[in-house]
Structure formats: C-alpha cells, structure tokens
Structure 1
Amino acid sequence: MCETFNSWIVGPRHKSVISMLEDIRHKMMDRHGDMIKFVDTWISDISPMARLTLEINKEIGRKLKVNWNHDTGFEILEGEYRHIVNMANKTCSCRLWQLKGIPCQHLPISNMKMWPETNNPQIEPPEVKPMPGRPGRCRRKDKDEPRKKKWGKA
C-alpha cells in the first residue's frame, strides 16, 4: 500500500511541505468525488466486484455438504476438508470471510440440500376418498345451453 500511495503522489512529493499536503488533499478530494459518482452507478448496495465474488461463492457452495449444529454454526464438508462456519460471529475456519469481508463459498445456502437426510419412507399424499351423498353430474351446462324438455306433461 505504501508503494502504491508513493507512486500516486510522485508529483507533489518534490514540492515544499505545505504545497505537497495541499496537492495531496486536492487529489484525495477528487478521488472521493469520483468514487461517489462511481457508487451512484451501482444497481445494489454491494459493489460489482463483491457481488461477482459472492455469486461465484454461491455456485461453489451449492455443491458442498452442509451439517447444522442446531445453534448458530454449520460444518461444511468440502471433499476431505471440513470448515466450521459461525453465522453469529460471521466467521469461517477458512478465514476468507474475515479477510475479505465477503462471505466465502462455505456460507450455507438455504435450499433442499440442507434438509437432513432420513431413512424413513417418503411421505405420500392421502388416498382420495369419495365424498358422502349423491355424486354430482359429470358435466355442468352453460347458462345459454338448451335444457332438456320434460316429457309427460301435456
């Protein structure tokens, strides 16, 4: 970071102290204004690069096996590796979440894969029972459809 900053102020560095500080202050104000304009172009509250990283992590995370510890944490199995995620502290044992501030691929995503597996038989819908009483007609006629005439009355 020091080398980046030093290369950024290479012009003002050779001026007197007051002039150098004024030039650096102006550069900082211009950069701050440019960043505000850039943020106004975002479509959400998350930066485009952070959103891209988050989407990639979500895709990778969908393929991992998740075990919930029935509290605030999860155990994520990634092949032969195991990571512990604490949702309350926003930490993961891979430490990428703490380092970047963006949830890593071990963040559990709520979907059917997170449901616990069971050996019980699958739940099937109940059987259809006929309702009591006389069954209805198969087809109901429209209002403008002709009705059958009653025979026998003259």
Structure 2
Amino acid sequence: MWARHIIDSRCKSDHITNNVTESFNHWVGDDRKKPIMVMVESLTCRIMGRLQRRFEKGSRFEFATTPRIRKIVDMTMQDAKLCKVIDAGDDEFQVRDGFTTFAVNLRTRSCGCNYWSLCGLSCTHACACISYKRYNVERFCDFYYSNEIYCKIYQEMIHPMPELNERDRDGYPIVDPPKLKSLPGRPRTARRRAANEGRAGYAARRKKVLHCEVWYLQIVWT
C-alpha cells in the first residue's frame, strides 16, 4: 500500500507487480525452445486466436461494463451497506465507515480514501452514496472499464500468413543465425532463484517449538 501514493491517477489501476516476465514465460511454454521462425509462427497463431476469442466474448456482454468489473462493483455495493451516509446537497456527502469519516463528491468522482480517483471504480463510500441516491452504479465506472473499450482493444486482427516458402522475397540478404557453441554440462531450463527463495516446488516449513519433559528446555524443530 505504501507505494500506491505515487501512482499516477490517469492509469486507473492500483495493481503493482514485478513478475510480468514470469507470466509471459509460463504462457510461452515450450515455444521458446523452438527455432526463431517456428517460434514466431507459433506465437502468431496463438495471439491471433486469442484476439478473436476475446472480441467475440466482448460482443456477448450484456451490460455496459465487463463481467469482472460488474462482479467487483456488486461486491463493493454489498460492503457499502455498513456505511452511514449524510447528504450535504449537490451530490456531496459525508460518509461514516466505522470510526472514520470520508468526504465524497459524486460530481467530481472523488473520495477522501482516493481509491476512486486511483482505480476508476467507485469505492465503498461512493457506492454507499450512489445507493442512497438510487443512481446507476455503472455510470460512475471509468470509461476504460466499459464494454466499448474492451471491444476496441481486441477488434484489431492479425491477418493469416502463408507458408514460409510461399512468401514474397524482399530482396534483402538472408540473415543466418550465429554459430552455436556447445557449452559443457546440460543446458539450464529453470530460472536462477534468489538467495532468499526456497527450492522450487517446496513450501516453507513452519518452525515448531518442543518442550523437553525432563529439562524443560525449548527446542526449535525445523
């Protein structure tokens, strides 16, 4: 949470991650072991089908927002029932959430918790005000989460490509791959793990404290 105070509010996302490359490597799978042209062809086909499936999925959405955003908003509306709303007029409210008070402005789409301006989705306090005024909660979701934007993202397509030997020559010389030099030992397939990481596939074991019945000593068992 401490790093989110410097996130630009134009991003409309509070997601922080540093393992994007790990997710991509897992998605690529065994394709990275193939020759470069075969790997590019395989990834092109996978991305081609992925774009088409996502576009067809977005065309079947029934609401103005995507189903995932709709689910998040519905859960937030349930949590908003615990808040106490005081109407100050002109779509401005004072919301009591437990022992903390927040100022909410529906016109400027802002709340004292800053979640709304950061993520683009109405927070618990804003949802309490929206429910109090009986407004449509989808009106207050950022445009980036709309079904229209979802379809625009995946509407572009990757056109089919002919076989390699049937493609037109561009006149440029063919670049051959560099000569491979076999290194001693078996090639590494797993990534290098940090010093503070455990072995792959093994969860961290919890420490147990045992008491000796004779000497009443505490022995840490790992």
Q: Using structure 1 for the length normalisation, give the TM-score.
A: 0.57
| Alpha-carbon distance in structure 2 between the residues aligned to 1:82 and 1:57 | 18
User: Which residue does the alignment assign to 2:96?
Assistant: 77
Q: Could you list the runs of 5+ residues in structure 2 that have no partner in the other structure?
A: 1-19, 135-222
Give 1:112 deviation, angstroms: 6.8
| Alpha-carbon distance in structure 2 between the residues aligned to 1:9 and 1:42 | 29
| Alpha-carbon distance in structure 2 between the residues aligned to 1:91 and 1:39 | 29
Larger Rg: 1
User: Which residue does the alignment assign to 1:28?
Assistant: 47
User: Which residue does the alignment assign to 2:130?
Assistant: 109
> Number of residue pairs matched?
113
Q: Is the CA contact (8 Å cut-off) linking 2:94 and 2:104 kept in structure 1? A: yes
User: Which residue does the alignment assign to 2:64?
Assistant: 45
Give 1:33 deviation, angstroms: 0.9
SS across alignment from 2:43: helix
Q: Using structure 2 for the length normalisation, give the TM-score.
A: 0.42
Residues 1:93 and 1:28: Cα distance change in structure 2 (over 3 Å): farther
Deviation by residue 1:11-38 (Cα, 9 ceiling, x = unmatched): 2212334443333232222111111122
SS across alignment from 1:43: coil
Identity in percent = 25
Give 1:99 deviation, angstroms: 4.9
Q: Is the CA contact (8 Å cut-off) linking 1:60 and 1:105 kept in structure 2? A: yes
SS across alignment from 2:50: helix
Q: Could you list the runs of 5+ residues in structure 1 that have no partner in the other structure?
A: 114-154
Deviation by residue 1:44-92 (Cα, 9 ceiling, x = unmatched): 1212221122122223224422245556643321010223334344343
- Aligned AA for 2:69? A
| CA-atom RMSD in angstroms | 2.9
The range that moved more, 38-47 or 79-88, is: 79-88
| Alpha-carbon distance in structure 1 between the residues aligned to 2:76 and 2:115 | 11
